Amino acid sequence: MTATAPLRAAIVPVTPIEQNCTLIWCTATMKAAVIDPGGDLPKIHAAIAQAGVTVEKVLLTHGHIDHAGEAKPLAEALGVPIEGPHEDDRFWLARLADDGRNWGITGVPFEPDRWLADGDTVTVGDLTLDVYHTPGHTAGHVIFHHVPSKFAQVGDVLFQGSVGRTDLPQGNHKQLIESIVTKLWPLGDDTAFIPGHGRPSTFAHERAHNMFVSDRALSA
């Protein structure tokens, strides 16, 4: 019989943009965090109930509307704090209401209870996740990495077969590639990740096949 994995994750696609809101939890304590609750709160509440977990915080990778639009209402409903993103995304969190109107998504501006910086850690039950500042898609983007599980939630930095867009305000393609190469790749090829959109993948797969950041593409 194999031991129960210390971390489990469930993807809850939300908003018309099909953003991967992610519920992660500590199997030892059944304490959980909701990462990037961009909208569709009834779906998120249903996922929490189905998993049978107690949410103790909301975590944010960055401040775009599809990731952060309903973070404040969810945190208030659950009575929990919001941690993240990096303070350089204050620009995006302040304009959530305007962006929500433009996209037809609920957007509630806020400031998190805790800004996150490179080298910080966040806890979920008995789990400790490392925080990496990964600018490029937005200036204040962060990712979360759980070393024992070889698992990362990378938001919109990296996707299966693609990378985050950099044509929005404060985006920087060169910086994004640098974040992937210097922050993500050192975490190990065997790291599995959930992106902000699309299917999960591994760093090994992306280094072999991703047209933007494969080893072959970067050496060309």
CA angle 102, 195, 6 (to 5 degrees): 130
Task: Give me the pLDDT at residue 3, please.
Answer: 65
Kindly report the pTM of this predicted structure.
0.97
Q: Which residues contact 129 (CB under 8 A, 6 or more apart)?
A: 121, 122, 123, 144, 145, 146
Give backbone dihedrals phi and psi of 22, rounded to 5 degrees, phi first.
-125, 125
- The predicted-structure confidence for 81-128, as pLDDT tens digits, reads as follows 999 999 999 999 999 999 999 999 999 999 999 999 999 999 999 999
- The predicted-structure confidence for 20-63, as pLDDT tens digits, reads as follows 999 999 999 999 999 999 999 999 999 999 999 999 999 999 99
Beta strands in 60-139 (DSSP E): 82-83, 121-124, 127-133
- Dihedral sign (CA 185, 188, 190, 192): negative
Domains of the chain and any CATH numbers = 7-219 (3.60.15.10)
d(CA 120, CA 97): 29
- Quickly tell me which residue has 């050496």 as its tokens: 219
- The answer, yes or no, to whether residue 140 has pLDDT greater than 90, is yes
Amino acid found at 120: D
Structure tokens, 164: 């985050």
- The predicted-structure confidence for 157-197, as pLDDT tens digits, reads as follows 999 999 999 999 999 999 999 999 999 999 999 999 999 99
